Amino acid sequence: MIDSIVGIASKNFGSVVDNNQEIFKSLNEIIPKSGVNIPARNYGALMIFMTVIGYVIGLILLIFLLATVWHPNIFTMIGAILFVPIAVGMSVFLMSYFVPYNQMTTRKTSIDTNLPFAVAHMGSIATSGIPPSAIFKLLADFSEYDALAVEMGKIVRNMDMFGMDPMSSIREVAKRSPSEKLKQILLGFVSTIESGGDLKTYLKIMGEQALFEWRTKRQKYLQQLDTYAEFYTGLLIAAPLFIISLFSVMNMIESNLGGVGILQLMKLSIYILVPALNIGFMLFLHSTQVEM
């Protein structure tokens, strides 16, 4: 089903992507790193196809609303017909562009989180004297490494299915990795082997360095959480209590403030403002959190 839709999109809009390379240029970098199994050109065509579908659906829904429940004046109607379908189509275009970018970011976070432990694991395996290619086969079977295990599996796939030599396979995966840290470690792995260096020493040093950075990053995050806790206590606990107490006193003196009832302001603060601030704070914490 999906392949058929992609095929239709590519057939009808592939030339549009080819003629507007500047707009879709970033897809050539994002798509291979996102894990989306669609070529960048085909995905760009799919974006245009979904945009057209979004425009048509937006126009149909708008006409339905105009014919049933919404009866504006002629100027508002013309403006809505011109603007609303375009807004829907552009929203679809931007959302479809965001999907591979979001997947690339998610994979990068997962890889960077598991990388310190994976490198230490690689160092432990290397001390047993097994071939370097076997290291990646063992790591690929550890599902606990999540996206990192998938990257290791790609190296194994390139060797077993496509017949690539281990060093070329590692380079290929490093080039397409969303994590710059993993890329540098894999390229260093290749350089160490090709130059005749000690792989055990290299992996030991990189593992210790990665674990040190991991501890430092999390220690810094815990310090930030202390600051956030003080901010939350002052702004979202103490301040609302103070405002409610102030409104209570004001209500006994004068029930209106600038034509607005004090009780209405209290209800607005309790049921809308305070929950909205708490939701905003939780979203902020989620956007700044560090994977443990």
Taking the CB of residue 10, how many other CB atoms lie within 10 A of it? Answer: 20
pLDDT, residue 43, reads 92
For residue 5, CA distances in Å to 12, 13, 43, 47 come to 11, 12, 11, 11
Q: How much is the pLDDT for 289?
A: 67
Report pLDDT for 290: 62
Is residue 114 within 8 A of residue 291, CB to CB? The reply is no
Helix residue spans in 1-39 (DSSP H) = 2-19, 21-24, 27-34
pTM listed for this prediction: 0.75
Tell me the per-residue pLDDT of 185-214, one tens digit each, with 9 for 90 and over. 999 999 998 998 888 899 889 988 888 888
Taking residues 266-274, report their average pLDDT: 82
User: What pLDDT, on a 0 to 100 scale, did the predictor assign at position 259?
Assistant: 64
Q: Which positions ≥6 away from 255 have C-beta within 8 Å?
A: 261, 262, 263
Q: 131 with 155: CB under 8 angstroms?
A: no
Tokens of 49: 């196809």
DSSP line for 174-222: HHH-S-HHHHHHHHHHHHHHHTT--HHHHHHHHHHHHHHHHHHHHHHHH
Please, what is the average pLDDT of the chain? 86
Q: What's the N-to-C CA distance of the chain in angstroms?
A: 38
Show the DSSP H helices in 127-163 as ranges. Answer: 132-140, 147-160
Q: Read off the pLDDT of residues 58-83 as tens digits, 9 standing for 90 and up.
A: 999 999 988 888 888 888 888 888 89
Dist. CA 153–CA 177, nearest whole Å: 13
Can you tell me the distance from the alpha carbon of 134 to that of 185, in angstroms, rounded to the nearest whole number?
A: 17
